[in-house]
Amino acid sequence: MASKQDANTQIPSPFMDLPALITKFQSHRLGVRDLVALSGAHTIGFAACFLFRNRIYNETNCDPDFATSRQASCPHIGGDNNIAPLEYQNTNSFR
């Protein structure tokens, strides 16, 4: 049965770092291999600015060129709902 509470507590948050993601997956008996494979879905699609802002301005493990390219449409303040492709180019194809 669908559960709002489960959705908010059991699905990984977009703000989690890698160790937290690994722990969350393990709590569902999924391993690092599963995490990597399922993360591959993000080769297509878009994300909203407020969800990835911290990563492109404050994190040191984000590709600098990619971070700079995303900053163009995701300012420090405002533009929360601006969307950007999850990869460099928006190809809408799975590759």
Residues that bind ligand HEM (CB under 6 A): 12, 14, 21, 38, 41-42, 44-48, 51
Given the complex with ligand HEM, which of 40 and 63 has the nearer CB atom? 40
For 75-90, the DSSP string reads -SSS-TT-EEESSSS-
Find out whether 76 is annotated in a ligand binding site: no
Given the complex with ligand HEM, which of 18 and 68 has the nearer CB atom? 18
Q: How many CB atoms lie within 10 A of CB 33?
A: 9
Position of minimal CB gap to ligand HEM: 45
d(CA 32, CA 43): 18
Given the complex with ligand HEM, which of 12 and 79 has the nearer CB atom? 12
d(CA 14, CA 8): 11
Q: State the binding site for heme b.
A: 42
